[in-house]
Every structure is written in C-alpha cells, then in structure tokens.
Structure 1
Amino acid sequence: MNMKKYFVFLFLCILFLCGCKNKTVMIAFNSNGGSYIMPEIIESGKSIEITSPTKEGFNFDGWYYDDALTIPYNNETFKRNTTLYAKWTPKTYTIAFDYDIEPIEAEFLSEINLPTPTKEGFVFDGWYTSPYLDKPFTAQYMPLGGAYLYPKWTPKTFQVKFYHFGGLLDIQTINYNERITPPIVPSREGYIFTGWDHDLETIKSDAIISAMYIPKVFIVDFETNGGTSIDSIAVTYGESVSMPAPPQKPLKVFDGWYLDADFKELYQNTQVTNNITLYAKWKDAFTYVLKYDDTYEIYKYNGSDEIIEIPSEFQSKKVTSIGENAFINSTNLKKVIINNNIKTINSYAFYDCINLEEVYIGDNVIQIEEGALSSCSKLKKLTIPFVGKSKDATDSESHFAFIFGKKEFYNAYNVILPLNDPLCRSYFLPNTLEEVTITSGKKIKDYSFYNCKSIKKVILPDSIDTIESFAFYKCSGLEEIKFPKDLEVIEEYSFYDCINIKNIEINNNLKEIKSYAFKGCISLKNVYINKESKLNLLGEGVFLGCISLEEIFLPNSIEILPNNLFAYCSNLKNVNLPLGIKEISKYCFYNCISLRFFISSPLIEKLDDYSFGNCINLDCVYISISLMYLGENVFDGCMRLEAIHYEGTIDDWENITKESNQFLEDVNIIDSFLLK
C-alpha cells in the first residue's frame, strides 16, 4: 500500500473513532486482484453505492460477504464494520491459425493444447505469432486477448541415386519438391540417351532414377543379284536380321546371304552394329544327267519357283527329257511350260506337285509316261499335244487320264475304263481340272475322255477331222467344246450323257453325226448348223433325250431324219426342216410334247411309224402332195390335232400308202392347201 492510500485509510479510521459516538461503521473492499477500492465509513443502518472494480482478463461478477464468495452482497444496509470480497469470471478468448485448422476458444489462463498440423513433404516446426516466424508461441495457457498463430515448416530431405547402364552414377540430397540437376550421362555404344525415367522437376521421396536409352537403328539392304527385289529393313543395334522369305530367280535356287559381293563371308545370323548390305548367292535349280544320245535329262528340280519354263539347253547340249520324279514335292510350283527340245516326260515327273494349277506341254513332246501328273491335286488347266501316252497309243494308254496314273490321291476321282478295254484299268483325275486344250492330231480316239466328269471346257485343234466313238462319254461336267474347222465326223455315243453342254456350233465341213452322239445331253438348248453346212448324215437318236433343246436349224444337205433323232426332246418347239427332206423315220419326234406345228418339205415322201407319236400339243400339220407313205400311228397320242392340211386333193390323199392310223379317224383332212 503506497503512502497516499495509507493516509486515506488512517483518516477514515480517525473519523470512524470520532464517529463511534454517532454509531458509524467502516466498509472495506477486497478486490481479489482487481483495481483498488477505497474503504468507506457510513452511519450504521445505511447502504452505499459501490464502484465496480476492474481486472484484466476477467469480468466483475459482484461483491460477496465472505472470501469463499458464497454469500452475495445485494445492496443491504450496514450495521457493523464489514469487508466485501470481489468475485471475478475469466473472459473467453480465441486462438486462430494461419492454416486450415479450426480456431481454439478457451477461458483466459486456462490450459491450452495446440494442434500439430501436417503437410506433405514437410516437418512441422512450431507455432509463431509473427508471419516472419521470428517469435515462437510458447504459452501453455490462454493468453490475454487470444492469439493468431503461424505454422513454421521445414522441408523434408530425400536421397536421390542416379544409375546408368554401367551402374551408380551419382547421389544427391534434395529438399522436397525441388528440381534436381541430373549428372552428365556417359555415352553408350549403339544406343541413344533419351532422358531419365523420373520427373526431375519435383522430388517428393527417396528415388532411384535411371538413364533411358533406345538402341540405334541400322538399315539392312538386300542385293538379290537378279532375283526378285526385297525391301530394305530396319534392325536395332545388337539384334540379328529377321530374314525375309528368300528371293526367287527363274531356274535358280537361292544359296544363302553373304556379307560381301564375292561370297566369301556367309551371314550367319550375327548381330547388326552398322548399316550393311547382304548379297544373294544362287545356284542352278536343276540337276542334269547326260544320256547315251549326248543330250541331257532333268534328273532333279531343286527350286522354289511358282512359274517355270523348262530349259532347252544345258552346257550347250539339248535337254530332251524330264526324269522320273524330277519335280516330286515341288509344292511352290503353280505353272509349268514344257516346250523347246523336250521329247519325253517320264513317269511321275511331277508327282505330288500339290499346288500346280496349269501345265503347258508343247508339240515337240512325243511321249508322256503313265502318272507324269499324278497327285497334282489342284491342276485346273492343261494343254497337251495329244491324248494319252503318245499319238499312236492304243487301248487304255490312249485315255486322257493315263498321264495321271493309277495311284489314288487327294481331291481326285476314279475313272473306270469300259469293260471292253483289254486291260480293264482305272485311273485317277483331279476334281479341279476344268479346261483341256489339245494342240495337234487328226483324231480324238475312242474313249479318250471317257467318264472325265470334272472337265468343263475342251478346245480342239482345227486339224482334228474325227471324234471317235465314246470319246467324251459321260463327261458330265463338260459345258463347252469348240469344234475344229476341219471336223468331218462325230461318231457314235461320242458326247453321250454330257449333261451340262448347253450350246453346239457345227462347222461347215462336218459331214456326219453318228448314232446317239448327243443322247442324254439334257442341258443342250441350242444347236447351230449353218445352212451351207456339208452335213448329210445324221445317225439314230443323235439328240435323243435332249430335254432342254428348243429349236434347231438343219442344213439343206439332209434328206433323211433317222429313227429317234429328236425323241423325248420335251422342250423342242421349232424345227426348221431342210427343203430336201424326203423321209422322217420312226419315232423321230416321239414325245416332243412342246412341238406345236409341223410343216413338211416339198419333197417329203415318207413319214414312218410313230414319227410324231405322243406330241400331245401338236395342233397344226401341213403335208406336201409329195408324200407317198404314212407309217403306223404317225400321229398317235397327238390329242390336240384336229385337222391335217394337205396340199393335194382328197383323192390324192386316199392314194397315199397308209399303215394303221386309228388316231386319224377323228382328224379332218383339209385338201387343196398350197404349200409354199
């Protein structure tokens, strides 16, 4: 207590003592740490107004009679000396943070627990009261007025190791999220440095960073020395060349790649370290043997060509034959041209050439042995100078399938020769063979293509004058055949049951078509015969059963239409008869159910038995006065026929020799028709 407060107190005490006579009391104040309040002396039984004290960090909460602050003073009167005690309540303050943390609220001087924040890549280093982080906050209790605190952060440090192809290159220590300066990378033979496998701008942890390289790329060129060209390829350093398919060179065999043009150093799959050129070496595709006549025979073919032309010479001597099994298993072969000096093709010369599609055999060849083309299962087109073994071959050796042999093979069908063959053999033909061209000869012999059902097209040379009996018998796949200009005779059954032939064009020199030549050609629709044709003989049943035939023009050289010529041609609608026709033989138009009218030639003399039998739609018939004989039941079964127009008179009609014709009893004869 200072001197001023002491004298004031002393003065009050004196007044109190003097006033005892007047019954005065003294009121003292204990502010409990607050501002000082002077004691007051008042008359007993009176109350007073008391000034409220103040205290930093606290709110004044009233006066109390006891120091335990349990009995409040409520402005009562005083009758004795009294000491009043001040009661205080601490104020609430806030500590806020310069970070994303909720503020703390607490009473003044109460214990506080500050949070510990986290931040990626940093270590928390305490709270500070200044943004300059120069004044640490160390209070453990709520300070007067609260606080605004700033966190201090110390970045973490990391160890970064740099590696390259040779191992550890450098170690650096760096703060979190700082950019690192990489070391200089040593060069690497055959490689190009492309960078590091880690982002160098932001390091956020211990790291191992490796140098990245790509191998250099070198160009490999191919010098094929006359073979098919091969594009250059790119090869990475240290790798071997992934070899392309070998080049091809006609009549040569590829013999490897070399590193030099002199073929001294063979490329043996060595690693590429520079740009290089590889050189193709070749050797002859054929192995030859010298024969007794001082000519060569092809003993073995070693090549891989798709198309070859057989060489005519070797070492200045003629190549005249192809040996047995010479081309066996030449699976790349697709086309063969045999020309020039070759005279003989031996047995199984092209055996098992499974991809061979076309063969051309020139006119110089005089002999093709059995099975020369055996197992050529994809053959499509064949050109040959003759059919069979040779031009003079007989019996089974003259059959087309002879050169394909007796061995069964994939995708082939069996051709069984007719029983009258003395050897009664059978051969096999590929199902794929569709076109055959014959280039020379005078005849297509008996049974030459008997039962060759896969062949669709046959081209014959103009030198052919005769197609003999059964030549194309049951060639069920045959659709097209070109008849030679010099063809004169087509013999019996030559195209019997060729069910897919659609059109026939007869040349002007053809003289004879013998019996049943086109019988059963059910798809035959058109037959073209020039009016100037020399054709003068048609055999029996030439077109018997040609159910698709619709129209036919016959030349003026024909005088007789033989038996069964058009029998069962159910679609035949129109027949233009030659002016010189004298006779229509038995069953000539039998069962031609689509035939609507018939106009005879002016020279017609004979309509034989059943010549128009069962022509159920025939309704118009014109007959010349020249008719002398009407056979038995000529118009039997012609149900729509009601009248016959006759050029002569009724008397003339009665003079015609007639066999039994019951069907004519109901048919009117209209006479005096002028036939033009």
Structure 2
Amino acid sequence: WAKIAAILCLLALLISTCFLLGSCGGNETPEGPDNSDVTPDPKPDDKDDTDPKPDDTGKTDPKPEEKKQEFTLTFMIDGEVYKTFKVKEGDTFTDIPDLPEFPGYIGSWEKSSFENIKENMTIRADYTPATYTLTFDYAGATEGTETTSAEVTYDSSIGTLPTPKKEGYTFDGWYIGEEKIDRYTRWEYTENKTATAHFVDYYSEGLSYVRGGSENYEVTGIGTCTDTDIVVPATYQGMPVTGVGYAAFENNTQITSVCFGENVYFVGNYVFRGCTSLRSVTFLHTAGLSDGFNPSYGSYGYHMFEGCTALEDLTVPTYILAPILDNNYFYGNLKHLTT
C-alpha cells in the first residue's frame, strides 16, 4: 500500500504542473488559422447603433423621417398668378385661398380637393354670371298676368317680357324705378328687382310713325292697327306726337272716329279723304298757343275730310276753328260742332 500511495501522489503533482503550464504537452501554443482580422460575431445582446434607443421613460424614439419631395400648387385668376403654396409629397392641402369677389359673378376654383399630392399643380379660377329674379308688378292689369317672375342672368339681355292689358289704358312698357326696360335691355343689377307695368290713357296701337325732328313724332298711316276708333296718342316712345302726315288715312273705309292727342297741331292735306265711314273727329290740342302756334299758318291741311260723307260730329278748340272752316275741309253732312 505504501508504494501505491507514493504513485498516486506523484500523479497528482504531475497533473497540477500541467494545469499551471496550460498544457499537458509543453509551453507552446498549437498553431492554427490567423483570425486577427476577423470581427467576432456580436453577442445576442449587442444592438445596432441605428436602432431606436429607449429613453429614460422606457419609450423608443422613432427612426429619422426620410426627406420628402416638395411640390408647388399655383392658384391663378384670369391668367395671372394669385397665390402659390409648397406641399410635401403625399400630404393633403387644406389651406385653399378665398377668391376675390366680382359684382355679378360667382367664383370657384376648378379643383377643390387636394389629397395625396404627387406633382406640381396649377389651379384656375372659374367665374360664372350670377342669376337674379325679376318680379313683375302688373299695376292692376286684367289680362296677360300669368307670369309672376323671370330668371335673368347678369350681363345678358332680359329676354321676352309679358304684355299685360288693362281696360281703358294702353300698356306703355316695363319700368325698374325710372328706367324703362325691354327684352333687349342688358341686366346690370347685382340684386333681385321688381319691374312695374306702366299704362297710359288708351291710344291706338300699331300706327305707323316717323321722327318729325329731333324731339317729336308724326303719324304716317294706319300701320298694323285694326281699330275703327282711332286714338292718336299725345306721346310715343317718350316724345310728343305733334302731327299726322299727308293722306295718312286716305280711303280707309273702316275708320268710324278719330281723336287727336293734345300735342297734335299739324295735320297734312287729304288725311281722311275718302273715309266714308268716319262719323266723329275730336281735336284735343292744347299745346299750340303756349308754343307760339298760329292756326292761320295752315297747319291743318286742305281737304282734310274730303269725301267723308258720314261725318256728323266735330270737336275742336276755338282757336283752330276759323282755319278749318275757311279751307274747304268739309264735304260731308256735319251736324254737330263743339268748341
């Protein structure tokens, strides 16, 4: 047993010596591949420096945003740049500029939604004429009043207007305030309006007229008038009717009476010659004396009533009676003379 114990002690001493030297075979390290240039693999708990890092609260910062491309939105009015805006790619633009106002027009941009912008854009303004309501006031008319209003477009002609009738009166047109309008009037109002029918004392419509000067009219014939009782108006289109031309109603066998408006002081020759159904004539002239009119100048034509065999009643101002009686005006059976 003593020998066995000595051997075991010797083995223990040998093993201890080998352990201290790092090898049981000697002091040299075995040769192998040179790994001095190889980067060791990261340990599982190693982190990329670019990864989001938690802050003190434990929250993770987001990665830096990629730089987006910028686009330009250009807003234009009537061919000129009004405003421009820079918008990043993919963004939604909501700061749409207000359009300037122009009287009589309604403006809008040709595009109103700007989502997910991906390119430069040009947006143009679109202005359209506004529409207004024209309401009709018929001023007591009894016929032709079916249309109560009309839609009118700014800077356009009004268009067809109603033609009302009122018993005992003649329709003289439509008025907006003091302005007389018709179908050709261009609408330049920027609000709704009311047009009022204007009537004057009845006169025959459709008679033919000619300008007798810069500020008056003369009747030249029956025109399209179908009346048998003719009423020559005091005014026509805002100007006085001062005369009836040569042979204006000659040989009209349908006329039964004639009334001259208050401004008529000139009647041509043969005006009613051959009007065999004419029974009554009335002159309402009142303007002559104040205008310096002298009846002796012959403003009432010769043979005015030649061939008027049915004429019985004549009403005239006193101051024109003498020239009428002196100029062979009558070839009929005048029975009643009123002055």
Using the size of structure 1 for normalisation, the TM-score is: 0.21
Higher relative contact order (CA 8 A, sep 6+): 2
Using the size of structure 2 for normalisation, the TM-score is: 0.38
Which one has the largest radius of gyration?
A: 1
